[in-house]
Structures are given as structure tokens and as C-alpha cells.
Amino acid sequence: MEVAAENKVLSFVNGWERPTEENAVRKEALQALNAMEFPTTRVEDWKYTRVGKITKRSFKQLNTTIDTSPYIIEDLDAHQLVFVNGYYREDLSAIKKDDALTIQPVDRVDDAYYGQLVEDIDENVFSLMNKAYSNGGVYLHVAKQMKVEHPIHMIHVLTGDEVVANPRHFIRVEQGGKAEVVTTFQSEKAEESFSNVVMEGHVEANAHLRIHKVQTEAKNCFHIANELFVQDEGSQFLINTITTGSRLTRNGLNVIVEGENCHTEMNGAYLGTDRQHLDNHTLIDQLYSNCTSSETYKGVMDDKSVGVFNGKVIVRQDSQNIEAYQSNGNILLSKEATVNSKPELEIYADDVRCSHGSTTGQLDEEALFYLRTRGISEKNAKNLLVAAFIGDVLEKIDIEPLRKSVDQHFLEEFGWEF
Amino acid sequence: MLTIKNLHASVEEGAEILKGLNMEVNAGEVHAIMGPNGAGKSTLAAVLAGKEGYDITQGEVSFDGKDLLELETEDRAKEGMFLAFQYPVEIPGVSNINFLKTALNEIREYRGEEALNAKDFMARVRKSSEIVNLDPKLASRSVNAGFSGGEKKRNEIFQMAMLEPKLSILDETDSGLDIDALKVVSDGVNKLRSKDNAVIIITHYQRLLDYITPDYVHVLADGKIVKTGPKELALELEEKGYDWLNEEKETV
């Protein structure tokens, strides 16, 4: 027991309960945790993000209930799956009948299938903690050649003080299937609580999966997400990530493209105020030829907030005719805001078209003056310019009711009108 | 309407550009300010609009009885001042319509008027775009983004029509325009002239004044108005150039 006391990771999870039903994923994660340490800024992947704010605290699990009505998106006709502090609340969920979609606890993912899928993929201490201690989460299964008619809205609510939520989800879209998922992360009367999320998926041959993630948790909470998607040949995957929440957010998004003729698209908008730290780490690993990817992340940082973007694209030696586009743009609204932007292209093939661009600057003074000479106040002029700047990312949210609710959030939170 | 007394202005780096400028503009008048490059014409426009980067070291400007120099840029616009830019700024992502709606509603709110409803607003957009033959499609595009030089200048006059200012300052509006665009733009300005508003035309060349007849022509040289005369003065300047003025000054 002395050893355990010295291990910071083990003392961090001390007191957390694990589901009684054991499976391979849980067991292996628990075992791996024994040898883990929390990353320091000396680790390249965490160079700009100190996790001490999280790891020096202690969090407890809390299975409780909430009134879901504030979290239902108006006019969004969707399957609603509710997770309170990471526990799946079937009683609060509303699922439509659809032969294309099967919803089960995440434990039902076949161990052998899953083990093979994520073989050789690096875990980190947070994904391992999630996998070892997750006590809720779903396995969404989309049947072959079928389309899920309505979007699947996964509603995550963090509530209570110093609470940890470890939701873990797996989405499998079988050959030729199609689904669209909305994941929202919000908090209610939560003080210094921690969402530690794992979302993984497999987009099989010719399948389509679209995900829109909107995270607006309270600014004294913490959010770490580890997202991993594997694409098979001819598949299409899109994920939009909108982040305005949490004191510290780290979105770790990895896409492994394991087949030809795939298209991958990731877009993100992150908007920081106060002392928020918003970190987006993305990876696209192109293992096969004839694929395209497009990535656009935009940040608007105010006050003393810090933005981090790290976008890695790997094109393996035999992956020819790859087209990869990446851009990261940032606007600093205050002198004390900072952004660390790092595009990373590792290209080992010859026939590749990759472009990347990274910009960080202030709002265009000339444009601001121009708008003001038309009678627009400085505040509204700034809002128009900020809205224009991140507008092209928001336009990627093609579900109208969701877009409306995001717009509404921006209006309430920042006074930005689109 | 506008009274400028002994205006001195320097750029923040120190050089004095305006060196005691006096001018009086009344409702219903059109004033042309001409002068050689570097005389301070664009600085005057920038200072009147409230652009940052200039120090007003002396003098005063009153606009309809208010101390103009104390007002923020947007409040000058709300009081009825309009600047048509020499180089209109491209603002990708902000639609012409959206920004004009924001501007118009802010101006109306300032004046204690109700916001225009969508129908009246669109009617005004249509009417205003007709004044300068602006393709209504351009009205809904991003502000000046990808517009040709002529379209940008027409867009300035379109905005002037939308906002109905009391005093419009046209800063080198003729620069870069071909003859057809010049006619359209000046025709638009003429349609917007009334006994209640005034226009200041800042220009290097006389050709715009063939289409918009000024009541007064001022010559701005070395930061001061050195000569004021009737519209014929513009022709004289065109013929003799600006050097003639220096000679005249020296002989006086």
C-alpha cells in the first residue's frame, strides 16, 4: 500500500468506485494506470498545458439526477441520451424507434474486436483513468447500409462540487451506414468539477459519421476529452468542436485513416475569456493512398485566456495522392491573451498535397474604424468582426436547431450576434 | 453646420500636417477641397472622422453646435457625419446588409427613433442601391470583399444613401474610377443633395467637379486653406497646376 500512496495517479483515483462487472478493457486500463504518471510540460504533447490545476485536486463520483429540460435543444428532433456526471440515465433519456440504431452499455463492445481496433494506439493517463473507472457510457451501433433517421443527441451534464465524470462512449457505424451525433457538455451548480471523457468510434467501409461537439461547462470546471476514430476505406468522417467552457479544456482528437478514398474533416472554434486555457490537439494519421482531409480551427481569446492548437498530420510512406489541408487562425482581443499554435506535418510519401497555415493577430483596426464611421459602436463593431471570423467554422454545423442554440449561447455569453 | 477654427494636427510620430485650418460649411452647400499630394487633405478627412493616430494640438471643430473632437467616431456618425473612404476596407464575412442594419438601428436608437422593420429596411436597400446602380446582389455580399474599384466606390455612396447623413465627406472618391463609374457615382451624390445636407469633396483633380458642382473651392496647401473661390477656381487649378499658387503667394 505504501507504493500506491506514492503514486500520484493512484492517489488521485483513490476512493473512486469501479463497476463490479469486469471486462478486458477495464482490467487492462487499471493495470496500465499503475505505471502511469501525470504529464508535465516537459512532455512534448503537453508542453503548453499544465494539468496540475486538475491533478492537485481530488474529485469524487456522484450519481444523481437532474431536470433535463434546460438541456434539450429546441426543435432538435433527436434521440436524447442523458448522462449525469458520466452515469447513463436511461430513465431521463428519450429514444426513438429506429432499426438502424442499437444503443447498449459501452461494456457490450466485443473485447476482441475492440482490442484489435485500438491495438498500437497510445493511451494517456486520462483515457486510462476513464477506461478503468467509467461507470456509464453507451455503445451506439449503426447497422450496415442503414441510416439513422434522427440525430443522436448525447446530453452530458456535470453537477455538484468537485465531482468527476468519466463517460466513455463507442460509436460503430457499420459498412455503408450513416449517422449524425450531437454531443453537448454543460454543467449545473457545478464547482470545480471535472469531465474526463472518452469518445471512440469506428467508421467502417463507405460509412458516414458526423459529430458536433459543443462544450459550454462552467468556467471553474475542467474538461479533458480523448477522442479516437478509425476510418475504413471509402468512409467519411466529420467532427466540429465548439468550446467555450471550462477553466482548462483539452480536446485530444485522433483520427486513424485505415483505408483508401476516405475523407476526414475537423473544424473547431474556441472562445476563451478570463483565465481559461483551451487546448485542441488533433492528429490525422493517413495510412493509405487517395485520401483527403480538411481541418479548420479558429480561436478568439480575450482577457488572460490561453489558446493552444496542435495539429498533426502524418502521411505514411506508401500513402500516395493525399490531399491534406489545415488552417488555424486566432484573434487576440486583449494584450494579455496568448495562443500557442503548432502545425505539425510529417510526410513520408512523395505524391502529397499538404497545406497548412497558422495566424494569430488582433482585429483589423482599419475594418474596425470603417464600421465605426458608419455609426456602429466599438463593441458591436468588434462583435461583427469576431462573428465574421469564426462564422465559417460555425457554418459547418448544418443542423439548424443546433446552430440556433449555439448562436443563442454566443449571444448570451459574449453578446455576439450572427 | 461645420465650423473648423485654427485646426492643428500632427501624426503621433510628431510631424505637423494641419497647420491652422479654417473652414465653414453650411447646410445645402457643396465644398471642394483641392490641393497637391501631401497637403493634408486625407489627414483632414481622418481627423474629422475621428481616426486614431493623430494629435489635435490646437483649434476647434464644431458640428451642429457640438464639439466634434470630443465625440467618438461612431457618435460623429450618429450625429450625421459620413466619410466615403478613398480606400474602402474589405471585410470578409460581414455582409453589407447585416452591417448596415446594425449601423442604421444604432443611429436610430441614438436619435430616439424606433428600429426599422425588415420590410422598410429592405425597401430602403432597394431604393439606395438604385441610386448608384449597385447590383442588389452586392448589397448582400461581404463588405467590399472582391468588389472592383468602381463597385467599392459605388458601395460607399450606397451606404451614404442608406444612412442619410447631414454632412458627407468624400475622400478622393474619384480616384481609380473610369468615366462611366465617375458619372454613376456623381449622379448618386447629386441625387442625395438637399438644402438640409452638405458635402465636402476632397480631390486632387478637377474632373469630379465637372459632375458635382461645388459652391466653393478651397485650396489646401501645406496644412492650410490658402485660397477659396467659386467653382471656376477648380478650372484654373486644372489649367495652371498647384505651383501657380506658390508663385502667387510669393509675389504677394
pLDDT digits (tens, 9 = 90+) for A110-158: 999 999 999 888 899 999 999 999 988 999 999 999 999 999 999 999 9
Structural domain count of chain B: 1
Provide the pLDDT for residue B238. Answer: 80
Interface check A102 vs B, CB under 8 A: no
- Do B103 and A377 make contact, defined as CB atoms within 8 angstroms? no
- A-chain CB neighbours of B163 within 8 Å are 374-375
CATH classification of the domain holding B73: 3.40.50.300
Q: What amino acid occupies position B142?
A: S
pLDDT number for residue B93: 87
Nearest of A355, A375, A93 to residue B76 by alpha carbon: A375
Give the pLDDT confidence score for residue B247 in this predicted structure: 63
Q: pTM above the 0.90 mark? A: no
Mean pLDDT, range A163-189, rounded to an integer: 98
Return the percentage of chain A with pLDDT > 90, whole number: 91
The stretch A276-305 carries a mean pLDDT of 97
Environment class of A372 (CB within 10 Å of its CB; exposed 0-12, middle 13-18, buried 19+):
buried
Question: Around A412, how many Cα atoms within 13 Å sit in the side-chain half-sphere?
Answer: 8
d(CA A350, CA A366): 42
Closest Cα in chain B, distance from residue A275 (Å) = 28
CB contact under 8 A, B73 and A369: yes
Question: Looking at the predicted complex, does its ipTM rise above 0.90?
Answer: yes
Judge contact between A304 and A271, C-beta under 8 A. Answer: no
Spatial contact of A50 and A41, defined as CB atoms under 8 Å apart: yes
**Which tens digit of pLDDT belongs to each residue from B72-121?**
999 999 999 999 999 999 998 898 888 999 999 999 999 999 999 999 99
What would the pLDDT profile of A226-274 be if each residue is shown by its tens digit?
Answer: 999 999 999 999 999 999 999 999 999 999 999 999 999 999 999 999 9
Residues of chain B whose beta carbon is less than 8 angstroms from a beta carbon of chain A are: 49-52, 72-74, 76-78, 82-83, 85, 88-89, 91-94, 98-100, 102-104, 106-107, 110, 142-143, 159, 163
B246 pLDDT band (50/70/90 cuts)? low
Average of per-residue pLDDT values in chain B: 91
Which pLDDT belongs to residue B252? Answer: 45
Which of A207, A181, A246 shows the shortest CA–CA distance to A51?
A246
The reply to whether residue B51 touches residue A369, judged by beta carbons under 8 angstroms, is yes
Range of the domain at B25: 2-251
Percent of chain B at pLDDT above 70? 97
